[in-house]
Amino acid sequence: MRRMASPPQTARSERTREALRRAAMVRFLAQGVEETSAEQIAADAGVSLRTFYRHFGSKHDLLFADYDAGLQWFRRALASRPPGESLVDSVQAAIFAFPYDVEAVTQIASLRSEELDPSRIVRHMREVQSDFAHAVRDHLQRRTSDAAEKTLPITVTARCVAAAVFAGMEVWMQSEERTLADLAELCRTALTSIEDGLPIH
Amino acid sequence: MRRMASPPQTARSERTREALRRAAMVRFLAQGVEETSAEQIAADAGVSLRTFYRHFGSKHDLLFADYDAGLQWFRRALASRPPGESLVDSVQAAIFAFPYDVEAVTQIASLRSEELDPSRIVRHMREVQSDFAHAVRDHLQRRTSDAAEKTLPITVTARCVAAAVFAGMEVWMQSEERTLADLAELCRTALTSIEDGLPIH
DNA sequence: CGAAGTTTTGTCAATAGTGACAGAACGGTG
DNA sequence: CACCGTTCTGTCACTATTGACAAAACTTCG
């Protein structure tokens, strides 16, 4: 189902994707996400159901398109952070390198929290988090000289960072006012808590 | 899809579950997991497809039945650890409180690593990990006096512990010799790496 | 035993998601 | 423009899941 976000090969396919995105948003806003079938979206966009699934692995992928895009930025931003910087700072900076469309983000965030099938969203969120962790791990491996021997610690570290960021994000998604500043603040708090050492003793 | 592992209500349903479990294992071992359809399993067990799905949320749930059972043990074992013990020690001890059927575990583990649709398994694994993290978080909240104010740090800590354990488990699943001792060793290593502080500076 | 209530199943009908294969469109060449 | 190789789509067929509703099996009580 997942990881098949076909890169915009040609102009034609990009047009199709856009049509699907639009059609989906209209339906989602008008009648709700769970009440919209993939078939309706495809029909509205004037393509076959199969084509819909070629562009978006699932109906819910449409809601996470911005996360996926953000992830690409994140990877690149992370790679271009100065070598000496602490991991937490790098991550913090890289997360907000993406030019978020606050309107869109909060609109979708509101959609998500409504009558959306929670398990679907949560599942998808975990998937995004996993990708995020991979990005962090790649970054760590790049920065570590003896990376080969430290596979496990590096993986663990990456996943902990991801866990922190997404824990912050979840709190944010459930909060009243969803501003980017709040999100940054929450992520920083979460990351700081692992930087200062976890209360595990 | 998930969290609906209907508790064995009556003897009859338990018999059905058992029949399904058996039928599934036979097929899985004989022809592979992805090559076995839910319909075949149901037919072999002499019930309708719908009934299959009433007992197991999905085909892959059958492979994770022992994880689910283990999780119950884990929760209880965690709750009964002495108050003064460090989190890492408690978790470590609680994980292995479950009377694992080594045969079954390694048999299933071998099934998993074969031609199994990786994305399915990985997804399911993340789900189990999430449940595990919840268990750890509940435990931490129970042990922390001012838990209410530390929701985020507690959540982050719990997820980091879960991330560590499951990172170790993944390494184990991909290793040659899969003994419980190896698993314990890997989990300890992973947990220790967060206990000693993550290399994030 | 037989009626009433509860639990489990089966049947029906949809939606979600995919693999395989053939036809349509598109871009570049001679 | 006709031809060829690549990319994108549509169609078909099938498995995975789930909600709704009715029939069957099991229990309990009189």
Nearest CA in chain A to B126: A126
Residues in chain A: 201
CA distances for A9 relative to A6, A16, A17, angstroms: 8, 11, 11
A186 touches chain B (CB under 8 A): yes
Q: Which of B182, B153, B160 is nearest to B170 (CA)?
A: B182
Q: For residue A119, what pLDDT is reported?
A: 72
B23 and B71 together in one domain: no
B27 and B114 together in one domain: no
CA of A9 to C1' of D7 (A): 8
A10 touches strand C (CB under 7 A): yes
A29 and A66 together in one domain: no
B35 touches strand D (CB under 7 A): no
Would you say residue B156 lies in a domain? yes
Positions 53-82 of A with beta carbon below 7 A from strand D are 54-55
Tell me if B156 and A198 make a contact (CB, 8 A cut-off): yes
Tell me if A190 and B127 make a contact (CB, 8 A cut-off): no
CATH of the domain at B187: 1.10.357.10
A108 and A150 together in one domain: yes
Q: For residue A113, what pLDDT is reported?
A: 56
B93 touches strand D (CB under 7 A): no
B128 and B106 together in one domain: yes
A70 touches chain B (CB under 8 A): no
Looking at the 3D structure of chain A, how many domains does it have?
2
> Mind listing the pLDDT tens digit of every residue in chain A (201 residues)?
444 545 557 889 999 999 999 999 999 888 888 889 999 999 999 999 999 999 999 998 888 877 878 888 999 999 999 998 999 999 999 998 888 777 777 777 666 655 556 677 788 888 889 999 999 999 999 998 887 788 888 999 999 999 999 999 888 887 887 788 888 999 999 998 887 766 655
CA atoms within 13 A on the CB side of A104: 13
CA of B11 to C1' of C3 (A): 24
Degrees, nearest 5: CA angle A110-A113-A117: 135
A49 and A66 together in one domain: no
Answer yes or no: is pLDDT of B28 > 60: yes
CATH of the domain at B40: 1.10.10
Interface A–B counts its CB contacts (< 8 A) at 120
pLDDT digits (tens, 9 = 90+) for B81-116: 999 899 999 999 999 888 887 777 777 766 665 555
Show the domain range for A52. 11-57
